């Protein structure tokens, strides 16, 4: 119930194509689902996030699609660019028994966009 | 510039030699956290702190210690490092519980 399963592990897309990364979860207590982007040698940075009462959120070329009944959410990168080449992590947040928030991260997807 | 800094960025050490990885944030954030990142496992939380002198275990705390004597600093201490602690470590901070996390640049630790 703690896990967030992310796929694929790696992804190669042509410039201008659509990149799609999927995540699935079990725990219905998760209340917030962020995506992080990590470039080599850098820490993860928040890219876009969604709450479970919304089915889709779009920010520029990045869109999160959220399917509450299937317990799945995905990141779509439209018109993918070489500068999007990075590792992407999905995450899910819940309130722990201690009263604090805990983030569970997916295992990451390494995206390479070919020029 | 608002940021989270970590030092050192790279460290190679030997089994059993105590080490400290420092973390500092200049955003007056209350909440700080340490993660380790391993291939195929994503990021896993080691320890977190909700404020000065308030710390608690995350998911993988064994072999680590932390302290929070000042709001801006949250050092990670390995009293007796072992090879299974070879990993990439990230410090993160957020303004409050559940808020957006800002990550440091990472510390790559190798224990031989």
Contact with chain B for residue A44, Cβ under 8 A: yes
CB < 8 Å to A9, chain B: 40
Q: How many residues does chain B have?
A: 112
Is the model's pLDDT at B79 over the cut of 80? yes
What is the per-residue pLDDT for A23? Answer: 98
Q: Which residues of B touch A (CB under 8 A)?
A: 4, 40-45, 48, 50, 56, 58-59, 90, 92, 97-98, 100-106
Residues from chain A contacting residue B106 (CB–CB below 8 Å): 41-43
Q: Which two tokens stand for residue B29?
A: 């954030």
Residue A2: predicted pLDDT:
59
* Tokens encoding B18: 């105590």
Judged by CB atoms closer than 8 Å, whether chains meet at A32 and B90 is answered as: no
Identify any residues that bridge with B73 across adjacent strands, giving them in sequence order. B24
**Contact call for residues A37 and A88 (beta carbons, < 8 A):** yes
Give tens-digit pLDDT for A29-57: 899 999 999 999 999 999 999 999 999 99
| pLDDT computed for residue B21 by the predictor | 98
SS3 percent helix, strand, coil of chain A, rounded to 5, is 5, 55, 40
The DSSP element (H or E) to which B7 belongs, if any, is strand B4-7
Range in A110-114, B52-56, B65-69 the model is least confident about: B52-56
SS3 B80: coil
Q: Which residues of B touch A42 (CB under 8 A)?
A: 105-106
Report residue B17 as tokens.
Answer: 């030699």
Does the structure show a pLDDT above 60 at B4? yes
């Amino acid at each position: 119930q703690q896990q967030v399963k992310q796929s694929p592990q790696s992804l190669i897309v042509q410039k201008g194509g659509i990149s799609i990364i999927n995540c699935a979860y079990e725990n219905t207590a998760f209340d917030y689902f962020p995506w992080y982007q990590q470039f080599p040698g850098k820490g993860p940075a928040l890219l876009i996030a969604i709450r479970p009462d919304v089915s889709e959120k779009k920010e520029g070329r990045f869109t999160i699609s959220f399917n509450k009944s299937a317990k799945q959410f995905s990141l779509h990168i439209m018109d993918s660019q070489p500068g999007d080449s990075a590792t992407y992590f999905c995450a899910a947040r819940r309130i722990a028994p201690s009263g604090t928030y805990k983030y569970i991260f997916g295992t990451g997807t390494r995206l390479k966009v070919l020029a | 510039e608002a940021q989270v800094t970590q030092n050192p960025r790279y460290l190679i050490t030997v089994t059993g030699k105590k080490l400290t990885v420092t973390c500092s944030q200049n955003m007056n954030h209350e909440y700080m956290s340490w993660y380790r990142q391993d291939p195929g496992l994503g990021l896993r939380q080691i320890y977190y702190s909700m404020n000065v002198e308030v710390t608690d275990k995350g998911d993988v705390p064994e072999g680590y210690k932390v302290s929070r004597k000042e709001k801006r600093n949250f050092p990670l201490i390995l009293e007796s490092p072992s090879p299974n602690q070879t990993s990439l470590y990230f410090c993160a901070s957020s303004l409050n519980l559940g808020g957006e996390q800002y990550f440091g640049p990472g510390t790559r630790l190798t224990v031989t």
